[in-house]
Structure 1
Amino acid sequence: MKRVQFGRYGGPEEMSFADYTLPPLAPQRVRVRVKAAALNPLDWKVRRGDMKLVSGWKFPQGMGSDFAGVVEQIGAQVSGFQVGDEVFGTTEISRQGAFAEVIDANAKLVVRKPASLSFSEAACLPIPATTAWAAILGIADAGPGSRIFIHGCSGAVGSCAVQLALAHGAQVSGACGAASLAAVKAAGVNPALTYSDKASFAAEGLYDAVFDTLGTLTLDDGLKLLKPKGRFIDINPTPGRVLRGLVSGRYRMTFSTSGYKNLEDIARLSAEGTLHGCIGLEAPFADALSVIKAAEQGHRRLGRIVLLM
């Protein structure tokens, strides 16, 4: 079988296609024939060594986290799945490997794919949707009457956050790039502003929560947008932001792992048409190395990049 892997931490030049053999299936895991896998910045952050305290020093390591496919084998302690089930899910940081023909995944991070979703659509959901869920429904507690500002509302996480907040009755404002302005307005963001419109972010009032999906809104600027009991939600913490934020008392960090338990809810909302990912590009698995390198170097597009196996 083939997968994208790396033999040491480093840049895109460390990636390669390689043959691999999976070990015997562990009792708590399911073996999935991958049909589609979506790129996340996390994927190359792991390869660069940014997460080495978690990903460790055993090589080679596979790349890729979010995937959708068909169950081929079920671990002895796993229930709720059958061979042939169409599923989607994600991997632990310590065991990436979704850019592959077959993957062994933790059964707790896998759910059945709604029949209404394509494999590509399903692969777009796990990390963005779980991250948004943890922020918008976990910390912001979005509901009728709440006002939420999403910085980076057109990205994968931001667009999921918009959908979840609106579905729960919140009023959503946000900022994005100029090229995405029409799309986010159509999605229900009001007012929708560009990043250069910073002076107007709070023109219509302060917010119950500010969700910075990019890590580019300064903490001081974000705190100025909040009501007295509002929360600044960060998914790109740095030591400086954390220290400054803790002093403020209104700073909260969250990660996709906090929303993993809600994968079933995400699948349900997707089946209902309430939540969906946006596909920007579908590329053949054979082009994985060049596609990953281009995305890592900033050649992005509106919507997620999906590898088709």
Structure 2
Amino acid sequence: MKRVQYDRYGGPERMYIGKANLPQLGAKQIRVTVSAAAINPFDWKLRKGVMKLFRSRKFPKGMGTDFAGVIAAVGRDVKGLFVGDEVFGSVDFNESGAFAEEIILDSHLVAKKPARLSFEEAACLPIPVMTAWAAVFDKAKMSKGSHLFIHGCTGAVGASAVQLALARGIKVSGSCGTASLQSAKAAGVDPVFTYGDKQLQAQNGKFDAVFDTLGTLSVGAGLSMLNRKGIFVDINPTPGRMVRGMLARRYKLAFATMGIKHLSAIADLASEGVLRPTVGLVVPFTDALSAITAAETGARVPGKVVLAL
């Protein structure tokens, strides 16, 4: 079985396509033949060692988290999933390895793929939508009539948050780059600002929650935009921010893993057309290394980059 992997933490030069043996299938696990895998910034952050204190020391390690494919085998205690089912999901970050021909993972980490979505589209859902769900609903506690500001409202996580919030009757304002203004307005963000807009800097005390998807909004600036009971949600942890997130009442950190329990609900919303993932570029698995490197070093496409297997 071939996969993208690395023998030590570091930059893009550490990646290579190599052979790996799958572990024995556990009682509550499934084996999936991967059809598509989406590239997320989280993937190269893991390879760089951002979470190395929380991961095993065993190498080589596989890359990739989000995928869609077909179940090839099920463990004896797996319920509700069968060989031949089309599924999508996200591999546990300690295992990783979705950029591969096949993977083995716990069955609770997948949901059945919505029929209306291609494998490439379904692979784009997990981390962005799970992160957005955790931030908007689990941490910020947004509900109908709330006013949410999303910093970076047209990226994968930001766009997912916009779709989830609007579906719940939440008013959404946000910021994005100049080139994305029209697409943000078309998505329902109102008002929408460019990052350097002075009017954005004057939005003091207006919002029930501020969600920073980029990590470029200072905590002070985010807190200043909130009303008295508002919550600032961040998804870009540093050691200092993690400590602050544990101690502060109005500053919270959200992670994709917090949203894994909502994967079936996410599948339902995608089936209903509420969630509309955007595939920007499909690249064959043989070109995985160059595609990951390009995304990591700043190449931009209007949507997610997906590896096709």
TM-score range normalised by the length of the shorter chain: over 0.9
SS of 1:230's equivalent in the other structure is strand
Secondary structure at the counterpart of residue 81 of structure 1: coil
Task: Return 5+ residue gaps in structure 1 as ranges.
Answer: none
2:265 matched to which residue of 1? 265
Q: Which residue of 1 aligns with 2:126?
A: 126
1:275 aligns to what?
A: 275
Could you tell me how far 1:167 is from its partner in structure 2?
0.4
Aligned equivalent of 1:18? 18
CA drift of 1:51 comes to: 1.1
Counterpart of 1:59, as a letter, is F
Equivalents in 2 of 1:111, 1:202: separation in Å? 43
The alpha-carbon deviation at position 209 of structure 1 amounts to: 0.3
1:178-189 → structure 2 map (5 Å cutoff): 178-189=178-189
Tell me the equivalent position of 1:200.
200
Q: Which amino acid aligns with 2:48?
A: R
Task: Determine the C-alpha separation between the residues in 1 that align with 2:202 and 2:87.
Answer: 41
Q: What is aligned with 1:57? A: 57
Query: How many residues get paired?
Result: 309
Q: Which stretches of structure 1, 4 residues or more, deviate above 4 A after TM superposition?
A: 201-205, 242-248
Any gaps of 5 or more consecutive residues in structure 2?
A: none
Cα deviations across residues 76-127 of structure 1 (Å, max 9, x unaligned)?
2211101000000001111111000111121111010011110011000001
Deviations 1:124-160, CA, capped at 9 Å, x for gaps: 0001101101111112222222100000111111000
Cα deviation per residue 1:248-276 (whole Å; 9 max; x = unaligned)?
A: 63111110111100000000000000012
| 1:237, distance to aligned residue in structure 2 (A) | 2.1
C-alpha distance in 1 between matches for 2:162 and 2:295 = 23
Q: 2:112 and 2:71 mapped to 1: Cα distance?
A: 10
Q: Does 1:42 align with 2:49?
A: no
Deviations 1:247-305 (A, max 9, x none): 76311111011110000000000000001211111111110000001111111222111
Asked if 2 retains the 8 angstrom alpha-carbon contact of 1:66 and 1:126, the reply is yes
What CA distance in whole angstroms lies between the structure 1 residues aligned with 2:26 and 2:245? 41
Displacement after TM superposition at 1:10 (Å): 1.2
Q: CA deviation at 1:187?
A: 0.3
Normalization by structure 2: what TM-score? 0.96
Aligned-residue sequence identity (percent) comes to 57
When structure 1 is superposed on structure 2, of 196-205 and 219-228 the one drifting more is 196-205
2:162 match = 162
Secondary structure at the residue paired with 1:95?
coil
CA-atom RMSD, angstroms?
1.5
Could you tell which deviates more after superposition, 293-302 or 94-103?
293-302
Does the CA-based 8 Å contact 1:219-1:245 persist in structure 2?
no
Q: What code does the residue aligned with 2:195 have?
A: Y
Assess, with a 3 A threshold, how the Cα gap between structure 1 residues 7 and 69 changes in structure 2: closer, same or farther: same
Note if contact 1:180-1:302 (Cα within 8 Å) is conserved in structure 2.
no
Q: Aligned partners of 1:244, 1:4: CA distance in 2, in Å?
A: 35
In the superposition, the TM-score normalised over structure 1's length comes to: 0.96
CA shift, 1:55, in A, is 2.3
Structure 2 residue matching 1:241: 3-state secondary structure: helix
